Chains A and B, each alone.
Chain A
Amino acid sequence: GENVEQHPSTLSVQEGDSAVIKCTYSDSASNYFPWYKQELGKRPQLIIDIRSNVGEKKDQRIAVTLNKTAKHFSLHITETQPEDSAVYFCAASNSQAGTALIFGKGTTLSVSS
């Protein structure tokens, strides 16, 4: 089955810096890759996703890149702000097999001002 590895487990940056979180997946048939942000005590919130027919997607300060050959995808946050502090989870799924999301273990991002 699918296995998703996420790194780093913790990341501390200064306000205004960029943050990058990386995930690798094992199933080459996976074709949907969402990123969730979860603040303390809150629900996971979908912040951006990418499908396997696209190499990059951007939404304001957030971007995701996908390398299908290497089977890895990354979240990029530019101009970080204290409110970006949260746990970020990557996930992968295979629509053809009808599988549910397989999550990475999460990255705790701390942005200090």
Chain B
Amino acid sequence: DTEVTQTPKHLVMGMTNKKSLKCEQHMGHRAMYWYKQKAKKPPELMFVYSYEKLSINESVPSRFSPECPNSSLLNLHLHALQPEDSALYLCASSEGLAVYEQYFGPGTRLTVT
């Protein structure tokens, strides 16, 4: 299985809501990533987990809270988001940090109203 899956595909939430994005891979990869992508822009790194520990946090606001329950799962908890947080949220995984090929999931299209 060479696929990264993400749920939900689309999410609309109000600024007072709490929601979670989920990501799953079964390739035995030990590094997992969250990216944010705005239209016509490159993916922007948010968080990196390596061996289930947070390795990189790119100064992301605390209204985004990542969680790695086990080596196959990665969550992104959302709370009190702003309209400017509307974007495509991509999960990715790789065998290890940095050098290894990263495989992206299909993304969650988030709209904050």
Contacts and interface: CB of A to CB of B under 8 A. Distances in A.
Contacts, number: 55
A43 B105 contact: yes
B56 A100 contact: yes
A95 B100 CA distance: 9
Contact of B101 (A31, A46, A97, A106): A46
Contacts of A89: 42-43
Q: Is the interface on chain B under 10, 10 to 19, 20 to 34, or 35 or more residues?
A: 20 to 34
A93 B98 contact: yes
Interface of B is mostly: loop
A100 B50 CA distance: 11
Interface string B51-72: 0000110000000000000000
Contact of A51 (B45, B99, B107): B99
Interface string A83-103: 000010100011101111101
Interface in B58-113: 90, 97-107
Looking at B43, B50, B98, B100, the one whose CB has the most chain A CB atoms below 10 A away is B98
Nearest to B42: A103
Interface residues of A, number: 26
B21 interface: no
Interface in A7-51: 31-32, 34, 36, 42-46, 49, 51
Contact of B104 (A45, A93, A104, A106): A45
